[in-house]
Amino acid sequence: MACRSAHQSNRLEDAREVSAIFPKGTKVSNEHFTGNVWLTYLAPSDSVYNVVIGSVSFEPGARTHWHYHPGGQILLITEGEGWYQEKGKPVEIIKKGDVIKCPPAIEHWHGASKDQSMTHIAIGTNSNLGGAVWLSPVTDKEYFSGDF
């Protein structure tokens, strides 16, 4: 099962250039990312809405570690260009306007491309099943395997 079903890329080709929609947030300082990453929580999970939503900004070259989500994840790319990869598949380019649907338990990583920053809204679905399960760092060899 792939994180992108059929054609989940709903790029808004005529989208206007706008400044950041949400604040850049707080610089992430944990072991689950490589490079400079900022996070703004937009909607924490609660007993009414079974989702957690955040805006995540990656500087060029920054990325998540390999991970998966027990309840799945949806990424809405709001700015820039990045890279996305599922375990065992080639790296894909993701751009402003793309929608990535990640079913539960699919190992993947995502982040900015080497030359451009990227921001996305991350929606953790079925959050009652638990948060991200973090795995190993994405090596430079893995990261640059899709060097476009």
Q: What are the chain's domains?
A: 26-146 (2.60.120.10)
The pTM assigned to this predicted structure is: 0.84
Residue 11 clears pLDDT 70, i.e. is over it: no
Q: For the chain, where are the alpha helices, taking DSSP H only?
A: 140-143
What are the backbone angles phi and psi of residue 73, rounded to the nearest 5°? Answer: -155, 145
Higher pLDDT, 13 or 46: 46
CA within 13 Å, CB half, 99: 11
* pLDDT bracket for residue 112 (50, 70, 90): very high
